[in-house]
Every structure is written in C-alpha cells, then in structure tokens.
C-alpha cells in the first residue's frame, strides 16, 4: 500500500545505472542433477563423530579443471581423512573425473595420482602456476595442503615440499591463483580459518545426549591468510607478512581476487566468519593495504560482523564496476555490496530486493552467474547449515537446505528458485559451488559438493536459448591463464564488463572461460581484452554463440572447445 509504493519509488529512482536494454522475460531454464547418470559416484565423507570436531562440518571443495587439455572440463572433488575418533571402512580419497566428451565422466584419480589420501581436505584451486600450458591443482586442507603439478600426460606429481607450498600448521579453507606482482607468474593466496585442534576441541551445546554441537568459530583464534609468491622456478616463497596480506588474523573462509579499483592490479577480498571481512588493495609494489572498513564492506550496514563464507565479485548492475556478494549463516543476511564507482561500496541488500529472502538459510558456495544468458549476472547460492542437530534448537531449520537463485532484473533481483526445476529444491548440506560450461553448449552448469553426501552436477538446460559468447584467454607476457585480465564486450548499445578472477565462491575452482550472456543479440561488435602486462587486444565484430580464444598480443586464435559428442560416436 503506501509503504509498498514508497519502496518501489525508491528502487526505480535512478539509483542504478540501468542499461537501456531492459531484461527480457524469464525463459524456461532448469537445472537438472545429472551426477549419477554421468558416472559421478563421489560421496564426501565428513568423518562425523560425537566429538564434533569443527573440521567435520566445514568441507569440502569442488573444481572444474581441464586437466588433459582436451577442451572439456573435468571434475575434481575433495574428500576428508580419518581422524583420532573416526576410522572409515575404506580409504578416503579425493576424486578426479575425466569428462569423456559425450556427457559422461570416468574416474581417473589413481591414474592421475591426485587422491590426496590422508589429507583432511577443504578447498581447491586450479591454475597453471608454471606456465607450461596445463592446469595444476592445489588441494587445501587442514594442517597442510598439497600442490599437484600437472605433467601434461594425464598424471600429476605431488611437489608440495619441493615447492614449499604446504601451508603447514594452518587450517586452509579456500585458495586462489592470481598474479599479485604482475610478473607473469601465478601466485597463490590461501585463506585460513581458526586455530582449532583436537587438543583444544571444546564441548559446545547443551549438556544432554544429542545436544552437543559444533563450536562457534569465535571460540578459537583466527589465523592469518597465506600469500605464496611464485619464484618462477617451481618454488614459492612465503610473502604473507612482507606483502601485508598476513598482517592480521581473520576467520577466513572464502576469497575472490579481482581488480577493485580498475587500476590494472588485482586486489583481493576475503570473507571472514564472524569477524570483519578484508579487502586488500594492491599498492602495486608487492604490498597490500587492508581497506574493508574504509570501503564499507567489512561488515553489514547495521555495524555487525556476520559469518562470511562464500564470496564473488562481478558487475551486476552494468555500470562497469565490480560489486561483491557474500553469503552468511541463517538469521543473517546474504549481503550485496554495490561499488560506488569511486573508493568503496554501499550495502544494497535490501534495495536490490535480496533482503530477508534467505534469512533462514545458511549460504556457502555462491556466485554471480548469468544462468539465462540475458546479459545480467544472476546469483546462485548453495546452502546447508553448519549444525547437524540444528533442528533441536530451531524447529523450522534443517541441516540440509535447498539451493537459492536470484534472477537479476537489471539491478534488482527476484527469487527464481521455484522456476528452475525440482532438483534445486532438494535439501542438501551444500558447501562448494563451482561454475563451468562442462558440455560446451553456452550456458553455465554448476558442480556442487555436499558435506557428507553425494556431489551434484546441475546441468543447465535452456540457458542457451539466448545468445552467448565465451572467451578463453591465453597469456604470453602475462600469466598463461590470463588471471587479472579485464574484458569489455560491446554488443549494440550494451557494454558488458568481465574479469578473469582468481578464486570466488567457497572452496571452489571455476572454469577458466569468461562467459557473457547476450540475450537477443546475435553478434558482438567489439571485445577489448586488457592484460595484466598492459597489452590490449581488440577483437572486432564476431557472431555470438561460440567460444573465442584470445592469445595475448595475437588477438583471436583457433579455439579448441568441441561440443559434446553423441554417446557412441568417435
């Protein structure tokens, strides 16, 4: 009534730079879980015990990685390990699944040598750290992590010790490859959680049978993030303190590396659990300054810190500046911070229509994903509570929760979850959500890792009814993955901004291609790629609905992303 009208008036009042091309009506898109039929049998074992070790409930990770460089995204899923009080019936291993190119996957973990057995795994990051043309794997874990170097022949080698990349003694959560010093080699940031250990494990919850709970992280001390600087010879040096990134502890869970102030240098945002978030501004001299408070993104607009888990950055409102989205626990809000175009953010959670819609859900993996290819980044959230006995404390809350999708209407969001098929509604204890076009059909699919449950492969069906373009970057002077490159795509009167980020979501690694939804536009007028090296490549007009490969300094080169074959075909 009166209040409602006032609210609408505010939202439409020019607060956002809406593109002249208004969003089109929703098209019939659905996400279908095809994990089982695709041959993905992985089931995460969370090592759950009555001791309620905090590590049990926080994992684990999921990655898209084209490990054999055949143009099809493969899958890596992280598992846990035995503990003092948990002895599984069979060995616990992480799993690598090869994409067969016709819709199915085959497990190749042992052949590839990436089982990470004995590692209580958390997140994962995929990147070509040695610039040799294939994707390496960093598996983050509790107390240590593993760096697997891709040998290019279907096998990996554990080079952790040699590379000095163990992150020893820390509880690593998420990790991201990015080039912080623009020397053309990928460095690695690992966000670390808290100083929990078996020795300092506490009894939390009520003192009656069944009521023991996982402790809140604020019962422990936060750990500082780790920055490993690439020495360009296969080894890394710990640059945490020197760079300033390790200057203060946080309860780090999620990280995204992106160019916050569009100065060509990659900054990074860390989502911390129940303490201030960090925004590390790259000072271009191998050091960072933490500015989240100043930038207005350290905590919610009510002045309260929240349980930050998943995080992503993208230009959701088409003004050319990257905005940030962070997931939190139930009874907190998932926050949307809109870039103010200068030096900070504004919390627009309510004004953008998100508000309380996910108030009773605990969000983990999340990202800006244009699932319907209308050119407006939507928001996908994988939910799952932290407490496996939450129903004893909150009657209406469950451990397993449904997914949530917000459709972007051009700067405001609406809940589209119910329109996207029943598989999103199935309650799961979700953690990582990794985004990639695994079937090369032009729309983004989602790989979800679930705590103590089977993984999900949510294939996007119908998203490619609208036009799209995917961009694959090959750096030459810049790092080979092109992390840090920014792209401006012009199509008709639309300008879309994207960036080859590091990290994003929660404990996840995403596909390397940049995806653009084009709506009804069937051609692109111009693509401008700014590389971290400073080189600029411009691709003139090209048709939509293809994968374009851009090599630094050479412009467009041949692509190698075939469509899915029919099963049985050669």
Partner 1 sequence: MIWFLMLGFTALVFGAPQERGNAEQDAESQDRLGVVHAEKGELATAVSCFQKAIGLRPDFPEAHYHLALAYERMGRTAEALEGYQEAIRLRPDFSEARYLLAGSCQKAGDLEGVARLLGEIVERAPGFAEARYNLGLTLQSQKKLTEAVEQLRAAARLTPRNPKFLMALGIALAEQQHGAEAAATLHQAAALDPGNAEVHYNLGVALATAGREVEAVQAFWGALQRNPKHASARRGLGISLMHQGQLEASLAELRRAVEAAPDDPEARNNLGLVLLRLKDPQGAIEALEWAARLNPRLIKAYYNLAQACQRAGRYEDARRATERARELTAEQRNLGRAMLLVQSANQGVHGGDASAALTRLREAIALSPNFADAHVELAKALRSRGDTGEALQALRRALKLDPERADARYELGLTLGQAGERPAAIEELRTAAQRWPCFLPARRALGLLSLEAGDRKTALGELRFVLALAPLDAEVRRALQRASR
Would you tell me which residues interact with partner 1 (CB under 8 A)? 3-4, 6-7, 10-11, 202-204, 206-207, 215-216, 218-221, 275-276, 293-294, 296, 298-299, 301-305, 331, 350-351, 355-356, 359-360, 393-396
Q: How far is the CB of 261 from partner 1 (least distance, A)?
A: 16
* DSSP secondary structure letter of residue 414: E
Instruction: Record the tokens describing residue 65, joined without a space.
Output: 């990685």
Contact by Cβ (8 Å): 75, 61: no
Q: Is 156 helix (H, G, I), strand (E, B) or coil?
A: strand
Q: Label residue 212 exposed, middle or buried (CB < 10 Å: 0-12, 13-18, 19+).
A: middle
CB 349 to partner 1: min, Å: 9
> Strand pairing partners for 519?
467
**277 versus 453: smaller Cβ distance to partner 1:** 277
Task: Report residue 56: phi and psi, to 5°.
Answer: -60, -35
For CA atoms 156, 158, 160, 161, give the dihedral sign.
negative
What's the count of helices (H) and strands (E) in the chain, helices before strands?
A: 5, 42
Contacts (Cβ under 8 Å, ≥6 apart) of 9: none
Nearer to partner 1, 298 or 474 (CB): 298
Q: b/e for 386-424, b at 16 or more Cβ within 10 A? A: bbbbbeeeeeebbbbbbbbbbbbbbbbbbebbebbbebb
Residue 153 or 199 with smaller CB distance to partner 1: 199
Least separation, in Å, of the C-beta of 225 and partner 1?
17
Instruction: Give the residue carrying structure tokens 């799961």.
Output: 428
Residue 89 CB neighbours (<10 A) = 6
CB closer to partner 1, 293 vs 564 = 293
Is the CB of 308 or the CB of 442 nearer to partner 1? 308
Cβ 84 to partner 1, closest distance in Å?
17
CB 240 within 8 A of CB 226: yes
Nearest Cα to Cα of residue 321 among 343, 299, 301: 343
Nearest to partner 1 of 216, 526 (CB atom): 216
Smallest separation (angstroms) from partner 1 to the CB of 2: 10
Q: Transcribe 235-260 into DSSP letters.
A: -EEE-HHHHSTTSS-B-EEEEEEE-T
Residue 29 beta carbon to partner 1: minimum distance, rounded to whole angstroms: 28
Residues 6+ apart with CB under 8 A from 302: none
Q: In the complex with partner 1, which residue's Cβ is closer, 5 or 569?
A: 5
Q: Which is nearer to partner 1, 283 or 294 (CB)?
A: 294
Phi-psi label, residue 161: left if phi above 0, alpha if psi -120 to 50, beta otherwise: alpha
Rank residues 87 and 396 by Cβ distance to partner 1 and give the closer one.
Answer: 396
Q: How many residues does the chain have?
A: 570
Min separation Cβ 296 and partner 1, Å? 6
CB of 18 to partner 1, least distance (A): 17
**Minimum distance of partner 1 from residue 299's CB (angstroms):** 6
Q: Which residue number, 11 or 535, has a Cβ lying nearer to partner 1?
A: 11
Q: Among all chains, which residue has been given the structure tokens 């590396």?
A: 257
Whole-number minimum distance, CB 202 to partner 1, in Å?
Answer: 4
Is 362 within 8 Å of 385 (Cβ atoms)? yes
Least distance to partner 1, CB of residue 277, Å: 12
Residue closer to partner 1 by CB (options 156, 214) is 214
Q: Identify the three-state secondary structure at position 232.
A: coil
């Amino acid at each position: 009534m009166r209040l409602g009208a006032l609210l609408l008036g505010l939202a439409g009042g020019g607060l956002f730079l809406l593109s002249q091309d208004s969003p089109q009506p929703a098209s019939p898109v659905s996400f279908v879980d095809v994990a089982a039929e695709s041959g993905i049998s992985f089931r995460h074992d969370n090592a759950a015990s009555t001791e309620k070790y905090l590590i049990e409930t926080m994992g684990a990770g999921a990655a898209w990685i084209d490990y054999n460089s055949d143009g099809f995204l493969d899958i890596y899923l992280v598992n846990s390990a035995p503990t003092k009080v948990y002895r599984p019936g069979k060995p616990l291993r992480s799993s690598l699944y090869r994409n067969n190119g016709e819709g199915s996957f085959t497990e190749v973990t042992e052949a590839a040598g990436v089982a990470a057995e004995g590692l209580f795994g958390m997140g994962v990051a995929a990147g070509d750290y040695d610039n040799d043309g294939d994707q390496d794997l960093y598996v983050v874990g509790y107390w240590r992590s593993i760096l697997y170097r891709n040998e290019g022949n279907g096998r990996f080698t554990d080079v952790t010790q040699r590379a000095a990349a163990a992150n020893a003694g820390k509880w690593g959560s998420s990790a991201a490859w990015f080039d912080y010093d623009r020397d053309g080699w990928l460095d690695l940031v690992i966000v670390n959680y808290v100083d929990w250990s078996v020795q300092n494990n506490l009894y939390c919850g009520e003192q009656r049978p069944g009521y023991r709970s996982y402790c809140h992280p604020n019962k422990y001390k936060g750990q500082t993030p780790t920055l490993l600087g690439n020495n360009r010879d296969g080894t890394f040096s710990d640059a945490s303190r020197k760079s300033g990134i390790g200057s203060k502890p946080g309860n780090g869970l999620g990280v995204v590396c992106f160019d916050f102030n569009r100065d060509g240098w990659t900054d990074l945002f860390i989502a911390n659990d129940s303490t201030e978030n960090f925004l590390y501004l790259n000072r271009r001299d191998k050091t960072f300054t933490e500015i989240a408070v100043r930038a207005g993104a350290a905590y919610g607009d009510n002045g309260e810190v929240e349980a930050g888990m998943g995080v992503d950055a993208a230009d959701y409102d088409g003004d050319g500046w990257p905005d940030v989205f962070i997931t939190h626990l139930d009874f907190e809000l998932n926050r949307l911070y809109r870039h103010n175009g200068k030096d900070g953010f504004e919390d627009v959670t309510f004004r953008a229509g998100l508000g309380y819609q996910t108030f009773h859900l605990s969000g983990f993996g999340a990202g800006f994903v244009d699932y319907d290819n209308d050119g407006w980044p939507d928001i996908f959230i994988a939910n799952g509570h932290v407490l496996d006995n939450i129903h004893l404390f909150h009657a209406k809350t469950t451990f397993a929760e449904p997914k949530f999708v917000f459709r972007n209407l051009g700067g405001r969001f609406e809940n589209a979850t119910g329109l996207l098929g029943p598989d999103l509604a199935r309650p799961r204890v979700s953690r990582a959500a990794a985004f990639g076009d695994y079937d090369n059909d032009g729309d983004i699919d989602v790989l979800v890792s679930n705590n103590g449950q089977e993984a999900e492969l949510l294939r996007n069906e119908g998203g490619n009814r609208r036009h799209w373009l995917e961009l694959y970057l090959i750096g030459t002077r810049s790092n080979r993955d092109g992390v840090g490159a920014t792209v401006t795509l012009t199509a008709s009167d639309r300008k879309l901004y994207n960036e080859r980020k590091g990290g994003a979501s929660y404990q996840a690694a995403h596909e390397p291609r940049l995806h653009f939804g084009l709506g009804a536009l069937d051609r692109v007028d111009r693509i401008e790629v700014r590389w971290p090296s400073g080189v600029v490549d411009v691709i003139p007009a090209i048709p939509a609905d293809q994968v374009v490969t851009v090599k630094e300094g050479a412009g467009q080169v041949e692509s190698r992303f075939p469509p899915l074959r029919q099963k049985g075909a050669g």
